[in-house]
Structure formats: C-alpha cells, structure tokens
Structure 1
Amino acid sequence: MTIPSFEGRSTQKAAVCHGAVDLRIEDKPIAAPKDGEAQIAMGVTGLCGSDLHYYVAGANGTFKIQAPMVLGHESCGVITALPASYAGPLAVGDRVALEVGINCKNCHYCKIGRYNLCKGMRFASSAKTFPHLDGTLCEVMTHPLDLLHKLPAGLDLPLAALAEPLSVVLHAYRRAQLQPGARVLVLGAGAVGLLAAALAKASGATTVVAVDIEQGKLDFAAKQGWVTGTHLLPRGARVSGLDALEVAKTQWEGLQKDEVVASVEGLAEGFDAVFECTGVESCMQLAVLAAAPGTKVLYVGMGTANLTLPIGPSMIREVDLIGVFRYCNTYPEALALLGSGKLGDVSKMITQRYPLDRAVEAFEDLRRGKDKDGNTVIKAVVGNLELK
C-alpha cells in the first residue's frame, strides 16, 4: 500500500455545510498532529441520517448549525503521521477506524464508562456543541490516538466505515439485554435498521420483522436473510401529536394482520423488543403499541425535537422506553464482527460510492432515496475511493 503524503501542502478539500441545502467543497487548512494525536488520510465516510438532516434543514432535531461545519462521522483511513513523542502500538501506514466522539475523560460518566453521556463531549459533525467540531468529509485530519481502532486484517476500508452505525446498534442491543429466541421488530430499514436486523438474527432471534415505507429496502433485507418477514407501511404526510398516534394505531392494526405476525403464536400481542430506527413521531408511537407487555422499546432514531408518546399504554403494560444515544465501548466488538462475517455480507449495504468532489450529488441521491440510475440508496460512502 502506498501511504499518502501531504508534505508541502497547506490546504485540502472538504465538504462544508453552511446551512440548509448549502454544501460546498472548500479549501481547509491541513493540521500537523499534536501530542496525543495522529494525522490520518481519510478513506471513505458513510453518509448518515444525521448528516442528511443537516444537509436538508441545517439542523438535526434541536441541534442547529451556527457556523460552517464539515459533515461526516462514519469514517476510516490510514495513519500518515504521528508525533515524535509517540511510542505506542500504532504506526504510520496502519488502517484505522475513527471513533469521533471526543469526551472529557474526567466527568462522572466518563469515569464509569458511559462516556457517550459526557456533557463535555465534542462529536465530529454534530452541532450539539459550539464551536462545532468538523467532521470527516475531507482529505486529511488529525484525531486523538486513543480513539483510533486498528482494523482486523482483511477488513476493507469501506466496510470498516460501518463500524460507527454498527456501534449504535451494538449499544442498543446491549441495552435491550435480549436472550436467544427473542422476537424483534425493527422500524426503519435504513443502514442502522438493517444492521439491527442482521445483529438480531446473528444473536439468535427467531423472528425478525422489518418495517419501512420503501419496498426496495425491505426486499434487500429479505434477500440478505436478515429478516424472517417484512411489512410495507403506506406513505403519508408527517403528522404529530394525537394525529400521529391515530396513524400509529392504524399501522399497528395492519401489522397485526400481517401474514408473518399472524402466523407466530402470541406475536399479535407484541414483540419482545422494538428497535425504532426512524425518528419519525408516528413510528416512535407505533413502537410502544407493538411492544408486548413487560418488554422494551429501544429509541435509536433521532430527528424529532419534541414529540408525543403513548406513555399510558407503556405504563400499564410495563413497557420500558429506552433511549439510545450514540455508543460507548463498542468499536473493538463492531470491527471484530465486521471482520468475522457473522453478520452476513454487510458489504452489500454499500450501494453507492462517490469521490469527495461529488459529495453534493451523494447527498441529493440520499435525499431522494435513489441514485441517477434509479437504484435504491442503502448506504452511500464518499471520499478517497482509491485508498485501500
């Protein structure tokens, strides 16, 4: 492998979001690594739902862009430089995945290992904190050494970029505390939902039903063998509050009549766990209705700032509503899973690849859900397609 060099260069290209539907390829300075950091030539970055929210609306829920910000956080690359003082296990040329949440390491949550809850965390490409921390849709960046994870041998860089969404799913699955034989409902068959289904199936779930409004995504999940059934929801205008609850009730009635749900004894009363991966209010309400008494809802999807949930039905049926915010202590397991093949051929999730200078096209395709050739967008990656 030829290790990229940035010697003699002072600037690089990056995809910078200035606001709603205002993404520009701009010059940014190249930084040398400080003590405790490495310089990394970026491989590819997977585009995420939060990236799309920033691109479309200039905000993700209540997190609004206050200054131009480089997007992207599902990333991997190759170490190109290390500080002279470094004497650790990483070396120039190592292929690494970047865990992009930089926590304070000193607060209560950091000290007990739940660093995803650190109030001082700065997360690349998130407008939650200001000044914003730039993301990974660039040619080269510096990053803390302790948040770089060396890739298993043979794991391709684009596949390694899936470690970030898989980490979200692993964190949710740990919080669910499911046993083999569980019956799982996954709302949303985007990348996170598909990985949730794949992990559930690989972990011994006997029933995995995926729900989405796009038949192409459901067909993809079924073809990969990650689900035992799928259910297509009708498209409709987004509504909120009690209107959304009425939509959710109708959707649950339709799910209960679904052939797969009706054929499994007791499943019409609800699932052992519902992974809500859309962030759409009606789906977040549907999740409560579709959970069996005494089970759990995992709220993985984000994007709805304020919402109404049917708390009454959850209380009287002892359904636990569990928030899932990013992840912690997951990257080594996520990379090992991706390298092991236990989840199946998840590389097929990467359906579109774009060089950095076509980032706007990538976001527009993601926004439509189809590329220019009419192919369904499952996971689009952007960056240096030549880096191996």
Structure 2
Amino acid sequence: MTSSTLAVVAHGADDVRIEHVPVRPPGPDEAVIAVAYGGICGSDLHYWRHGAVGESVLRAPMVLGHEVVGTVVRAAADGTGPAAGTQVTVHPATREHTDVRFPDDRPNLSPGVRYLGSAARFPHTEGAFAREVVLPAAMLRALPDGLDLRVAALAEPAAVAWHAVAQAGDVRGKRVLVVGSGPIGALAVAVARRAGAAEIVAVDLHAKPREIATAVGATRTLDAADAEAVAAVDADVVIESSGNHRGLASAIAGATRGGTVVMVGLLPSGDQPVPIAHAITRELRLVGSFRFNDEIDEVITALADGTLAAGPVVTHTFPAARALEALAVAGDPAVSGKVLLAF
C-alpha cells in the first residue's frame, strides 16, 4: 500500500484540486481498494460549484465521491468482506448510534448515517475519488464475473432509483411519468421498465437526457416546457427527479386522480411554491424517497444478468487527472448523462 494517493479534493466553492492525500493504515475490519471508476453525482457538483450541498457546508478540504467500483488489494485482517483480487462496488453509508426515532427496517432515515464524501458532519466523511482508498469491509459488495466495471459504477445511483420506484408500490401494467431525465431519472426509467410498467413517459428540458431515457426504456418523451402535454399524461405513478419546484408542480399536474407522486429529486431547503391544493383535490399520494437501504444488492444482480439495461446512462469517461473538465461536462445536462472518472 502506498503512503499517499492521487485524489479529487474539494477545498471550497469553485475550488476542486487533483492532489495527493495520505492513505491511512486500515483497521482490522477495513480493506484497501484500488478504485477503477467513480461516478460524478449531483452532490459532487454542488460541492464544486457552491462549497456546500444544502446545509452541508465544507469547513475543511474533503475528498469527493461515493459512486465507486474497484478491486480489493488488501482484504480486511479480521477476515470479513471480500478477498484480495475481488472486484467490488461500494455501499457508501455507515450507521452510528442515535437516540432519534426512525423505523428499524429503514436505516436510510437514521440521522446517525454517515455517507462517503459528505460535509454533513465535522470532521467530514472523506469520499472515495482516489486511486486507493481504505473502507470498512461491510461497505463492499462483490461483483459477479463479467460485469463491466463502467456499468457496475451505476450500482449506487441505480439503487437510489430502485428505492424510489419501490416507494410507489407495484408498477406492473401501469403508466409511469418520470419528471427530470438526468442520471437518476433515466435509471428510474430503466428500473420501471424492468418492473413491468406498461408505459413510461420521460420528461426533460434537454434533448440529450430524453435520448438517454429512450435508450433505457421510455416509450415516449416530452419537452418539460410543454406543460399541457405533461399534464395530459395522466400517470398512475410519477417519479419526480428534477429536484426543483417546477418539476414537482409538473409531477402533480401529470398524475392521475388517486395517483402516486414519488419525490426523489432533492429540493432546496425552505418553503417551495407547489400547487398542493391540486394534490388534495385529486387525493394524490405524495411520497418521499431518500437514498436506499439494501437495494444495491438487487441492483448488482439485475445489472449482471442484463435485466436492468442501464449502460446508456454512462455517456463520458475522463481520467481522474481531468476531473475539473469532467465536472464541467457532468454539470451540463444538455450534453451528458452519467460522467465517470477513471482512476
């Protein structure tokens, strides 16, 4: 194991650097991973652009990244987790004790969860955009033989989409509307298709995300600017993944009476101007969706057996040394889907 490694580090707003950081010695229940690819998430973009994600503000330099795949180069000394040489993806959450109440079967709702590459607490939880990282063995998920690592890099965001679709219940035979066709929205399209949705309508302001949504299973697409067309969809289930109040308004308008709207796009903190009266008079079911629990295991299987056709969501791969260029491309939905860094 090297004493330092190349990493992508956020120092503040508009200040991301590619630099060497120390590699700490692993604990007995930790493994050393040689990272192959890391997917750029919206949270990484926020730390780059604003030095914060909502109320999670950078107070010190932090390695970005939580969507990573790679190979175990040193297994955990206590014998837990995958053996050396195993290709893995990462479940980026770890739980810590909290006295705050939450359902035992929904650990994603625990305020005691730490997430890789998050400034929600101080000291920050370092991310995994580095050539070599030390991670708890419990985070690692062995990948099936033959699964392309670039596709496997979608496991974490696909688990977010999987959880969101599951929040709507059984979508088999139903009409599904996906508002916002960025990577999470496109993956929700792929998950809904696998789950047997009869019709999937994908909405976005840009042509590129609509093209990707079609490639992964949308039966038709709509320009988000065409409010009348979106409202006319009359969907049984709506997945709102745009993360802005206009998208949520479109989701409410496009849902059928008695339908379900799943809100997976994270809106800014504070009050939002949303037509809730419409949701009341149509008896819509508004459901939140936050991260995921163990769905990543089902996602890995579905990616490996080809039933979750998510490959087209990846549109660009950049070497880690060009991370700033990669961030700029990832931040332009008119030209990109999921952008990967190659380590």
One-letter code aligned to 1:335? I
Cα displacement string for residues 312-344 of structure 1 (whole angstroms, at most 9, x for unaligned residues): 221222211111111101111010011111123
Structure-to-structure mapping, 1:97-246, within 5 angstroms: 97-104=89-96, 112-222=104-214, 224=215, 226-234=217-225
Match of 1:313 among 278, 281, 298: 278
CA distance in 2 between partners of 1:272 and 1:111 (Å): 27
Give the share of equivalent positions with the same residue, in percent. Answer: 35
State whether residues 138 and 383 of structure 1, in contact with CA within 8 Å, keep that contact through their aligned partners in structure 2: no
State whether residues 230 and 250 of structure 2, in contact with CA within 8 Å, keep that contact through their aligned partners in structure 1: no
CA distance in 2 between partners of 1:74 and 1:109 (Å): 28
Q: Which has the larger radius of gyration?
A: 1
Cα displacement string for residues 271-317 of structure 1 (whole angstroms, at most 9, x for unaligned residues): 11111111011111221222112121111112422222222221222
Q: 1:15 to 1:225 in 2, by over 3 A?
A: closer
Structure-to-structure mapping, 1:1-388, within 5 angstroms: 6=1, 9-84=2-77, 86-88=78-80, 90-104=82-96, 112-222=104-214, 224=215, 226-234=217-225, 251-256=226-231, 267=233, 270-306=234-270, 307-344=272-309, 346-369=310-333, 376-384=335-343
Deviating more after overlay: 58-67 vs 187-196 = 58-67
CA distance in 2 between partners of 1:145 and 1:225 (Å): 32
Q: Which runs of 5+ in 2 are unaligned?
A: none
Aligned length: 342
1:104 is displaced (CA, Å) by 1.7
1:254 is displaced (CA, Å) by 3.6
Q: 1:271 to 1:233 in 2, by over 3 A?
A: same
State whether residues 20 and 57 of structure 1, in contact with CA within 8 Å, keep that contact through their aligned partners in structure 2: yes
CA distance in 2 between partners of 1:13 and 1:109 (Å): 40
Q: 1:313 to 1:328 in 2, by over 3 A?
A: same
Q: Name the one with the larger strand percent.
A: 2
1:119 is displaced (CA, Å) by 1.2
Cα displacement string for residues 53-92 of structure 1 (whole angstroms, at most 9, x for unaligned residues): 22111122232222211111111111111343x2346201
Aligned Cα root-mean-square deviation (Å): 1.9
CA distance in 1 between partners of 2:221 and 2:101 (Å): 38
Q: 1:105 to 1:143 in 2, by over 3 A?
A: farther
What secondary structure, in the 3-state scheme, does the structure 1 residue paired with 2:286 have? Answer: strand
CA distance in 1 between partners of 2:296 and 2:284 (Å): 29
State whether residues 107 and 118 of structure 1, in contact with CA within 8 Å, keep that contact through their aligned partners in structure 2: no
Q: Which residue of 2 aligns with 1:264?
A: none
Q: 1:90 to 1:225 in 2, by over 3 A?
A: closer
What secondary structure, in the 3-state scheme, does the structure 2 residue paired with 1:211 have? Answer: strand
Instruction: Name the TM-score, length of structure 2 as normaliser.
Output: 0.94
What secondary structure, in the 3-state scheme, does the structure 2 residue paired with 1:142 have? Answer: strand
Q: 1:56 to 1:108 in 2, by over 3 A?
A: closer
Q: Which residue of 2 aligns with 1:237?
A: none
Instruction: Name the TM-score, length of structure 1 as normaliser.
Output: 0.83
What secondary structure, in the 3-state scheme, does the structure 1 residue paired with 2:331 have? Answer: helix
State whether residues 137 and 383 of structure 1, in contact with CA within 8 Å, keep that contact through their aligned partners in structure 2: no
Q: Which runs of 5+ in 1 are unaligned?
A: 1-5, 235-250, 262-266, 371-375
CA distance in 1 between partners of 2:240 and 2:198 (Å): 19
